[in-house]
Amino acid sequence: MALDDVRAHLPQHSVLISYVNYLRHPLESRDPNARSEWSYLAFVLHPGSERIRVYDLGAAKPIDDLVTSARAAADAEAHGGGMGARRNERQYREAGEVLRRKIWDPLRADAAGARLALVVADGVLNLIPFAGLPEGNGYLVEHGPVIHMLTSERDLVPAEDTAKKTGLLAIGSPQFNLASNAEPAAPLRGGTVSCDEFHTLDFHPLPGSGSEVSEIAQAWRRWNRSETASLVTGADATRGRFLSEAEHNRILHVATHAFLLDQSCGNGNPLMHSGLVFAGANSNREDSILTAQQIASLDLSGVDWAVLSACNTGNGELHDGEGVLGLERAFRVAGARSVIMTLWPVDDKITHQFMHNLYAERLGRHASTSDAVWNASRSLLLERRAAGKSTHPWYWAGFVGSGAWE
């Protein structure tokens, strides 16, 4: 891929921003204690321009620490049961405000006038939603430009022509215990666990995911009558059913638990540390778990959207120069053009609301991927503010699109 290819495919009224985490070496320093340190650069490119602007954003550690602090405030809200919401949002905003000044404000003048900012993140910047960075009394999602994440600059260059697929596969609310489904409902759709915990973990029902996929299938049939919709729930929502249908549909929507194992598993393959959970998982792990490694081996070319409606589906292991190796990367390797994922634990009911907004934008208003995700997040934020509810980004900013922006 040549730079000219990237430049030629940048849409009008857009800007490409590429962050790079690199090891800065001191040159001809007279300080005997001078050491190399990880730092961030940002490269900015406009369509039709021969010029690339370079911004030195400074040492990586202060930036990484701010991301960690903001994510900790999101995690506190996720598990706080509504207690301490104001404190959690204040802590998020304090870290997010400084982070925005370090990674976004230096580029503002260069991005002025753009309606779409296409961002390639690096390092832990992959783990923070740019839409949720504080701006004034609100957040960036309430201002321009629309920000869309790219896995790499290569996402701008169209892939080779593939056979066009049709149809929607909406699979959700799996019956994890096939003998009985009487377990209490789980408010969150997964999380990070150790390898030992994973083997004994019971997965609880997600009733919101059932109504979520049902509504999406209904919306698809109402707005897209020329293509079929396959709705799969309960005991039918098996790994085998997903594998048999995924390669034949244009849109994949999976609403279930996801898992992200810590590195205690130690098998050395990061794509074995994350995956999706299907029906029967409480009695037969082997036949009900689909790892990122297995997903990467599928042929998903011709899939426009893979919507991963579960916790932490945008997370994984960070590798220098390779980004995050997890579910998102697996679906992209398999051929999906765009992945809509989550950057932290998500609530069952709130996810349902976001997905309603997302498909209303995509199917009802024919919005691009970038606009659909951005507008769905903004709508959720505005709905919560109008209702007097907490506007902590945990509730609305964790849903991120990655890959093709159209």
Per the structure, how many domains does the chain have?
Answer: 2
| Span 342-361, average pLDDT | 95
| pLDDT tens digit sequence for 94-115 | 999 999 999 999 999 999 889 9
User: Which tops the pLDDT comparison, 144 or 227?
Assistant: 227
Q: Given 128, 156, 184, which residue is the final one in a domain?
A: 156
H or E element in which residue 42 lies = strand 37-45
The answer as to whether 193 is a domain residue is: yes
Q: Rounded to whole angstroms, how far apart are CA atoms 170 and 361?
A: 17
pLDDT of residue 199: 79
Q: For residue range 81-96, what is the model confidence (pLDDT) as tens digits?
A: 878 999 999 999 999 9
In angstroms, the CA 181 to CA 221 distance is 29
Rounded to whole angstroms, the Cα distance separating 45 from 70 reads: 28
CA nearest to 94, candidates 65, 122, 123 = 65
- Residue 86 and residue 191 share a domain: no
Q: Are residues 141 and 183 in the same domain?
A: no
Confidence of residue 214 (pLDDT cuts 50, 70, 90): very high
Domain membership of residue 79 (yes or no) is: yes
Looking at residues 201-205, what average pLDDT do you find?
A: 90
Whether 127 and 199 share a structural domain? no
Same structural domain, 272 and 191: yes
> What secondary structure does DSSP assign to 302-363, as a single string?
T--EEEEESTTTT-EEEETTTEEEEHHHHHHHHT-SEEEEESS--BHHHHHHHHHHHHIIII
Token pair of 371 as six digits: 């606009």
> CATH number for the domain including 133?
3.30.420
- 173 and 311 belong to one structural domain: yes
Range of the domain at 178: 168-366
Q: What is the pLDDT of residue 42?
A: 98
pLDDT for position 158: 84
Residue 3, pLDDT score: 85
Query: Looking at per-residue confidence, does 196 or 405 come out higher?
Result: 405
**Any domain includes 257:** yes
